[in-house]
Structure 1
């Protein structure tokens, strides 16, 4: 009987930990496709994962918490744009991340941008910015209080566009 209970607890623990694991995309075009399919905005996390103290704090205090995990799974497609100093990256990934850093005017880390993305017929990614933030003291609730309006605006923006298109028709 004890073995059955232990196995049950183990299986529950495994399923809970798998449910909380987040999918972070590094390929922006792939993330945009998922974003459009799921009708969720992108959350672009610009980070120096192995050297930036504030980035590491944001990860530990917010991005690795169950509260954030639930919110992220329900509301956004996560994209990590990393600028490490000690971890090797492919030239393609470095190029993509540098272009995005320039396009968004990133001057400090961490920076988190919320955006909608589209891919043109030529394969170029275009973004519609929804807002940005960085490290916010106070844990996940304080950070989510700042981030949540950007995500809610994504839905409102879509509704306004739909209305304005129907007026033109």
Structure 2
């Protein structure tokens, strides 16, 4: 696939690369599938611990969602850098998985919801007090996100920068 034929999001991915929020690495479907397996394990952990420790349950949901998006990137030969933090995987996925109407898939929204809840509980002066139902509210959507990502692994081409840019 030539750069001009690349699926949605080329400009956004290249901007993330230029901004050093993403970096190129060798594509690895095997490592991507391992991340998907870990994401599924984190979903099970979230469900198991939510009744007694909802903060850890939300952490596990966030880790599951992040690893699922990172798996899609890794399969394409992309990886989030320290500067990219926990927002670059979402930005990359949102750019690549938009529909023809230029809207992101609704399944992606759970990533940002969980990330913000987790951040609020962990870092925002402990202003957010999570409950088991908070974790439960986002569990099904997180499962859907991980499954979408698992289907994408192996189906998206490796990213090649556009030499004209």
Q: State the TM-score, normalizing by the size of structure 2.
A: 0.28
TM-score by length of 1: 0.28
